[in-house]
Structure 1
Amino acid sequence: MPQTVLVTGGAGFIGSHTCVDLLHSGHEVVVLDDHSNSAPEALERIAKIAGRPIAAAHVADVRDRRALDAVFTSHPIDAVIHFAAKKAVGESVQIPLAYYDINVGGTTALVAAMHDHGVHRLVFSSSCSIYGDATTVPLTEESPAAPKNPYAMSKWTCEQILADLCRHVPELRVLALRYFNPAGAHPSGLLGEDPHGVPNNIMPFLTQIAVGRRDELSVFGDDYPTADGTGVRDYLHVVDVAEGHRAALDHIDDGPGMRTFNLGTGRGASVLELVRTFEEVSGRSIPYHVTARRPGDVAELVADPAKAAAAWGWSARRDLAAMCRDAWNFQQQNPSGYAP
């Protein structure tokens, strides 16, 4: 059934793609975003792709209770998808307090506003980083949490808070999605990853090198216990991530309380494998140099996505080459990102 969905961080990388999928599926979308790492232009492009606009956009910090109350008062919100957060592992080591303030404080403020306005259905953007330095892969939802950096700890803390709230608020339904490494862009080239400042994720760094905005890639460590010594990640196309959030929303009433699901491909790729694939797809050479390991990083993170497949019929449908091709297409069409 069509719903009115509040998407926090809806102008961001994953949020914008999820808004497109929700609109295509017949839902109404309300966005709250402070644009600290996103562009208002993304909202116009969402409407262009979907063929219809979002219902409303509110510029506000997710920690702002007054702003949240205004959103819930102004719109008949049925459910919330919560993306708004800081998300860089390396940065979190440098400014940990900001990560706890924004990620944990923003989540508690949002859930408090939801409760006050009678909204009890939440899809929470969690992270595979909570698994830490895994001793075995692929990782299932039952793999132990061992967060190694403030970003991961902030997401794990939010999960624990939400699980406890569900024990005390029987009507609350929460699906926490632990997705792995989103990459790529919308195949139209209208939406993609356009971080403010120096990218913290590898794919926009590759595309910015290829388009001439940056000189070379820093590979953080080549002495990990992996096939080529570089870190291995489960890269997941952002459109698959968006479809996973919509599938979660469709199934949020399947059971009570809080449930966790991995979103991933089940296949890991090393940093150098990703570089080679991008070079093949783009036809551009990517210069790189190896530097010291980045604090907070781990050797390998690969998902076991079987639970989501069994429960929702969701699985990733796009491969690493598609992620590289779509990301490069976005960067070619938008050499300076969303900036004019």
Structure 2
Amino acid sequence: MNILLTGGTGYIGSHTAVVLAEAGHRPVLLDNLSNSSADVVDRLAQITGTRFPFIEGDIRDTALLRRVLADEGIGAVVHFAGLKAVGESVEQPLRYYDNNVGGTISLLQAMDETGVGTLVFSSSATVYGQPAYLPLDEVHPTGATNPYGRTKLHIEEMLAELAASGTNWRIACLRYFNPVGAHASGLIGEDPNGIPNNLMPYIARVAGGRLPFLNVFGDDYPTPDGTGVRDYIHVMDLAEGHRAALDFLAGSAGAGWHAFNLGTGCGYSVLDMVRAFEQASGRPVPYRIAPRRPGDVAACYAKADKAADQLAWRALRSLDDMCASTWHFQQRTAR
């Protein structure tokens, strides 16, 4: 199947492209390169032996999307494209609504006009807001503590209503927890433009000497060491979850709207991650305590039983795998 990946040269999109190609699909990549590099297309060709079609463009360009969907014979879309930094969303909410919500509306209009009804959406555990209980399952009440999470929740609600409006739609919202790690080749990984907003690439740049220290935002949370606890999942496990979701949507149970958690079910604190990365890299990771960030929660980790039952998917890679692959990528490729 020809599958359009919006945000396809980004961190999760590029790894998913590899997994889909290995399964016999033909990924088509669309990205505006706001937080990635066109070099990724060359690296994907090195990994897979195939050069995927790449279109530089923005998801808010509905006419472009319509042409790509028709010209490339697209059968399904995996929608990654979006801004994703919690702190930045608090400072620039209008930008986040325009890009994330407005961009998704543009994509859905193009899909509707070209008869493409299968969509896997890159959602987030932030749609659960402040946890009422842990681990978080898919029936936990939804809410949001920051504009980024609210854009994801608005999109999920919009997709559920769209799926209810007609029989053509097959939609899976994958609620990610915290993706980390890199492909075993070391050719692709998380290497954002500018200063990283996510923990693992920041730690990697500190360990590699590219940044002087890590800011740990808050050490007074009600957690074992006072720092925030998250469910970190290897990006290759996450990529395999997208392949499983597409297989599910193609089956008899795939019609309509579905939500799945993709996580490990295990929480690690910021300082746990620092210590694990120091062990994997053999390098120190200096840090300092900074004030809490607006919109952050103390702890967030998954119950992923639904994905195991319905997608036949489970996270398999360890924290050591996550740290070692990140360091390999940092040493080999990262800018």
TM-score (norm 1): 0.97
Contact 2:63 2:110 (8 Å CA) reproduced: no
Letter in 1 for 2:50: R
SS in 2 for 1:251: helix
**Deviation for aligned residue 1:170:** 1.8
Distance 1:180 1:44 in 2: 28
Distance 2:255 2:118 in 1: 10
* 2:220 matches 1:237: no
CA deviation string 1:189-229 (max 9, x = no partner)? 00011101110001010110111110000000001010110
Contact 2:118 2:171 (8 Å CA) reproduced: yes
* Alignment correspondent of 1:24: 22
* Alignment correspondent of 1:320: 319
Distance 2:130 2:228 in 1: 11
* Alignment correspondent of 2:130: 133
TM-score (norm 2): 0.98
Q: Percent identity?
A: 52
Distance 1:69 1:134 in 2: 39
Letter in 2 for 1:101: D
* Alignment correspondent of 1:191: 188
- 1:130-169 equivalences under 5 Å are 130-169=127-166
* Alignment correspondent of 1:287: 286
* Alignment correspondent of 1:303: 302
Letter in 1 for 2:18: V
* 2:257 matches 1:258: yes
| CA-based RMSD | 0.8
Distance 1:277 1:124 in 2: 31
Match of 2:170 among 167, 170, 173: 173
Distance 1:270 1:136 in 2: 18
Distance 2:4 2:85 in 1: 24
* Alignment correspondent of 1:94: 91
* Alignment correspondent of 2:48: 50
Distance 1:73 1:111 in 2: 14
* Alignment correspondent of 1:8: 6
**Deviation for aligned residue 1:135:** 2.5
Match of 1:66 among 63, 66, 90: 63
**Deviation for aligned residue 1:51:** 2.0
CA deviation string 1:121-145 (max 9, x = no partner)? 0000000011111131100000011
* Alignment correspondent of 1:330: 329
CA deviation string 1:228-253 (max 9, x = no partner)? 10000000000001000011011113
CA deviation string 1:3-36 (max 9, x = no partner)? 1100000000000000000111100111110000
Distance 2:143 2:159 in 1: 18
Letter in 2 for 1:34: N
SS in 1 for 2:226: coil
Distance 2:312 2:158 in 1: 28
Distance 1:312 1:84 in 2: 23
Match of 1:104 among 86, 101, 106: 101
Structure 1 stretches of at least 4 aligned residues deviating more than 4 Å after TM superposition:
none
Q: Greater shift after overlay, 65-74 or 227-236? A: 65-74
**Deviation for aligned residue 1:321:** 1.1
**Deviation for aligned residue 1:163:** 0.3
Distance 1:59 1:207 in 2: 28
Gaps of 5+ in 1: none
Equivalent pairs counted in the alignment come to: 333
